[in-house]
């Protein structure tokens, strides 16, 4: 099976390409580095020739509201149009749990726009909405630095290891199109600040981490239902404690 991974050189994409190759598939890491640019359309026709599946895990280089919206809308429209011409049988998109519940977060609005494009195309699809990755807990903490301490939201959080995300994407990509959406989250749920505190402690960072229900996440307020699955969800197998031993 030929599977093209758009954004195949990034954190998730590189792991996914490796897993698919281990399974015996022809996995292609497509990105601007390899001459494939979904935003401009450059290289799409060539790389999609003979492709069975496309997995889109590309990320916008800018999170400025207008730029991130344009990135996901334009790249998705170009992708599904090129896939339809190439006869691609399955489009898989990686999105975010809670995209439809946090309209004040510009990045979430852009991902929801991407989902709309995918759902409206003629290509059979699967959308995997994942929670935040363990790998970004440290950066999230740094964004909350205030007067020598770290202040982050106290809302419920259920982050996941990127390896588990790649595993799920590999399973979905090699299966039948869902023509629907699934949620994917980590195996543990706790207040946001607890995860950040555990990550920083493991890194030897002694700064106190405080949970504040009014603290914002990427410039917007969040609550206990903003970032976690509300219904049935697939769960990753890696707890934070296990992941911390590998970093």
What whole-number distance in Å separates Cα of residue 127 and Cα of residue 89?
14
Cβ–Cβ < 8 Å for 49, 89: no
* pLDDT confidence of residue 147: 85
Residue 138's nearest CA partner among 148, 156, 155, 152 is 152
pLDDT band with cut points at 50, 70 and 90 for residue 214: very high
In the chain, % of residues over pLDDT 70: 100
List, for residues 18-34, the tens digit of each pLDDT value.
999 999 999 999 999 99
* pLDDT confidence of residue 148: 84
Residues in the chain: 247
5 burial via Cβ count (<10 Å: 0-12, 13-18, 19+)? buried
What whole-number distance in Å separates Cα of residue 5 and Cα of residue 48?
10
Cβ–Cβ < 8 Å for 12, 165: yes
What whole-number distance in Å separates Cα of residue 78 and Cα of residue 207?
46
Calculate mean pLDDT across residues 50-65. Answer: 95
Q: What average pLDDT is seen over the chain?
A: 96
Calculate mean pLDDT across residues 141-167. Answer: 94
Could you identify the residue written with the tokens 């949620």?
A: 183
Calculate mean pLDDT across residues 131-137. Answer: 96
* pLDDT confidence of residue 218: 87
User: pTM for this one?
Assistant: 0.95
* pLDDT confidence of residue 174: 98
Q: Is the pLDDT of residue 163 over 90?
A: yes
Cβ-based neighbour number of residue 114 at 10 Å: 28
DSSP codes of every residue in 117-162: HHHHSSS-EEEEEE--BGGGHHHHHHHTEETTEEEEE-SEE--B-H
Do the strands 90-96 and 125-130 form a parallel or antiparallel pair, or are they unpaired? parallel
What whole-number distance in Å separates Cα of residue 145 and Cα of residue 90?
43
pLDDT band with cut points at 50, 70 and 90 for residue 215: very high
Residue 167 CA from chain centroid, whole number: 13
List, for residues 75-123, the tens digit of each pLDDT value.
999 999 999 999 999 999 999 999 999 889 999 999 999 999 999 999 9
């Amino acid at each position: 099976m030929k599977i093209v991974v758009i954004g195949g050189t990034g954190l998730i994409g590189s792991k996914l390409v490796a897993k698919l190759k281990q399974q015996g598939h022809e996995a292609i890491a497509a990105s601007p580095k390899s001459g494939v640019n979904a935003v401009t359309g450059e290289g799409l026709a060539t790389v999609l020739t003979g492709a069975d599946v496309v997995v889109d895990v590309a990320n916008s280089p800018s999170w400025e509201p207008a730029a991130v919206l344009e990135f996901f809308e334009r790249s998705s429209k170009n992708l599904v149009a090129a896939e339809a011409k190439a006869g691609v049988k399955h489009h898989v998109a990686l999105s975010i749990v809670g995209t439809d519940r946090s309209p004040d977060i510009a990045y979430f609005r852009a991902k929801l726009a991407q989902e709309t494009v995918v759902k409206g195309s003629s290509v059979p699809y699967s959308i995997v909405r994942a929670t935040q990755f363990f790998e970004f807990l440290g950066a999230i903490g740094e964004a909350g630095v205030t007067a020598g301490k770290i202040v982050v939201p106290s809302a419920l959080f259920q982050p996941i290891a990127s390896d588990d995300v790649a595993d799920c994407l590999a399973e979905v990509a090699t299966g039948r199109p869902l023509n629907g959406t699934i949620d994917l989250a980590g195996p543990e749920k706790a207040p946001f600040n607890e995860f950040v505190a555990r990550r920083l402690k493991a890194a030897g960072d002694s700064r106190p981490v405080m949970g504040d229900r009014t603290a914002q996440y990427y410039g917007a307020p969040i609550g206990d239902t903003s970032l976690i699955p509300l219904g049935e969800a697939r769960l990753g197998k890696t707890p934070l404690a296990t992941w911390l031993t590998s970093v």
